[in-house]
């Protein structure tokens, strides 16, 4: 049974510009996406900034009304049955905001327990249990202002779980966290998943999505590009490999030549690793590239060259870049 059903969901925003002559401009944040999430699944929504991930979460968590299509969570319509639905879902927005810094973590949770209508004894018991679970019991009575970013994020998780929701929406839960803090949050998410909780998680960290999610929806520019498990997504490009070339110098003529060799069916990205610029070319013509790159540029311009299997991030980049023929979307 599907816990979340999104059917041709659309959302537009109207912006008004100009002081004297007011002009209206409509922006399409979601252009008719559809997917379903069964009970107990950890479903990821991945895409670049501005892709529509947060808009989707906000619609599903009843904060925004859809402009078209429909969305149902736990069988309830997010627009017309919002009040009933809010009791049964938990929501977490990434980042440091969303807490009252001048009061303690316990008081933050107590306040939200009241807003969810929890009785005092039940709230007291649940708050103590959650503070223990997220590792904040010893700091529960300190002001939130004094918490580290990771601690604040763990408090966010405790708040989202306070009323024992059946579905949890986690919007970029590890954003801005150091590796250790991010790992702690991922461990908590894994624990939730193991307890059978249905979770919708948004992120643009591909390793995180790969590690945590049962299935992923890749969205870009408001449209759905694919819905599949991480393994299925990788399997969609069986012939694609990544050629990595270390550049001795980051020169524009070398980059232009690499771009030419890459061709229209591949994609090129350059990143800095340990003080060196490394060009990564995803292509199905990787065998040709292994020969043509040194032959064209010469070993004076490039350093070591290697070929590796594509990661989920490579597949994701290929999907969102639209550099090649679009991949077949796997229906969920």
Partner 1 sequence: MTLTTRAFGGALVMHMRLYMFRQSRIITGLAMPVVIAAIAVLVLRHDAASPEKYFRVMIGSGMAGMWGAVLGTAMLTLRREREWYGTLPLLIATPARLEAIFGGYLLAEALAGFLAVVMSLSAGVLLLGSPVQVTSPATLLVSLPLAALAIAAVALPIMPLVLQAPLLTRWINGMDYPVWILAGFLFPISILPGWTTPLSYALPAYWASEALQQVTVPPGGAVGTWERAAPLWLATAVLCAVYVCGALLVQRLVVRRLHRTGILIAE
Q: Which residues are at the interface with partner 1 (CB under 8 A)?
A: 11, 13-14, 58, 61-65, 79, 83-84, 86-87, 89, 91, 93, 95, 97-103, 107, 110-119, 159
State in angstroms the smallest separation of the CB of 195 from partner 1.
22
Helix (H, G, I), strand (E, B) or coil at 102: coil
Strands lying side by side in the sheet with 2-17: 23-38, 2-17, 68-73, 76-77
Closest distance of CB 64 from partner 1, Å: 5
Give the nearer residue to partner 1 in terms of CB position, either 14 or 138. Answer: 14
Find, among 81, 63, 204, 64, the residue nearest to 72 by Cα: 81
| Complex with partner 1: residue 123 or 242, whichever CB lies closer | 123
Measured from the CB of residue 43, what is the shortest distance to partner 1 in angstroms?
19
Name which of 35 and 93 has its Cβ closer to partner 1.
93
Radius of gyration of the chain (CA): 23
> Rounded to the nearest whole angstrom, what is the least distance from the CB of residue 9 to partner 1 in the complex?
14
> Which 3 state secondary structure label does DSSP give 219?
strand
Instruction: Determine the Cα angle at 199 with ends 114 and 86, to 5°.
Output: 35
Distance from the Cα of residue 153 to its chain's centroid: 16
Closest to partner 1 by CB, 64 vs 301, is 64
**Residue 57, both tokens:** 């979460």
**Cα(215)–Cα(300) distance, rounded to whole angstroms?**
44
Of 65 and 250, nearer to partner 1 (C-beta) is 65
Strands 42-46 and 198-203: parallel
Whether the Cβ atoms of residue 115 and residue 159 lie closer than 8 Å to each other: no
CA distances from 209 to 45, 134, 275, 286 (A): 8, 21, 28, 26
Shortest separation between residue 45's beta carbon and partner 1, angstroms: 17
Least distance to partner 1 from the beta carbon of 314, Å? 31
Shortest Å distance, C-beta 61 to partner 1 = 5
H-run or E-run covering 271: strand 267-273
């Amino acid at each position: 049974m599907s816990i979340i059903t999104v059917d041709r969901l659309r959302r537009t925003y109207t912006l008004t510009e100009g002081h004297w002559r007011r002009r209206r401009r409509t922006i399409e944040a979601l252009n008719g996406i559809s997917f379903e999430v069964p009970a107990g699944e950890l479903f990821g929504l991945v895409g670049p900034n501005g892709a529509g991930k947060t808009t989707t979460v906000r619609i599903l968590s009843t904060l925004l009304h859809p402009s078209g299509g429909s969305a149902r969570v736990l069988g309830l319509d997010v627009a017309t049955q919002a009040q009933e639905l809010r009791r049964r879902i938990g929501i977490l927005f990434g980042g440091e905001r969303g807490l009252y810094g001048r009061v303690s973590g316990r008081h933050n949770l107590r306040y939200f327990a009241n807003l969810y209508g929890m009785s005092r004894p039940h709230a007291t018991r649940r708050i103590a249990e959650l503070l223990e679970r997220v590792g904040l019991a010893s700091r529960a009575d300190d002001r939130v202002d004094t918490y580290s970013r990771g601690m604040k994020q763990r408090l966010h998780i405790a708040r989202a779980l306070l009323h024992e929701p059946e579905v949890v929406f986690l919007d970029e839960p590890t954003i801005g966290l150091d590796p250790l803090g991010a790992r702690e949050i991922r461990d908590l998410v894994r624990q939730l998943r193991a307890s059978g909780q249905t979770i919708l998680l948004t992120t643009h960290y591909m390793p995180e999505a790969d590690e945590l999610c049962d299935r992923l929806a890749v969205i870009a520019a408001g449209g759905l590009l694919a819905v599949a498990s991480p393994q299925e997504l990788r399997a969609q490009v069986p012939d694609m490999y990544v050629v990595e070339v270390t550049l001795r110098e980051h020169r524009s003529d070398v980059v232009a030549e690499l771009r030419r060799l890459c061709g229209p069916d591949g994609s090129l990205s350059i990143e800095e690793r340990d003080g060196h610029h490394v060009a990564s070319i995803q292509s199905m013509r990787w065998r040709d590239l292994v020969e043509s790159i040194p032959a064209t540029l010469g070993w004076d311009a490039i350093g070591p060259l290697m070929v590796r299997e594509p990661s989920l991030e490579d597949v994701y980049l290929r999907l969102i870049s639209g550099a090649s023929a679009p991949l077949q979307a796997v229906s969920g």
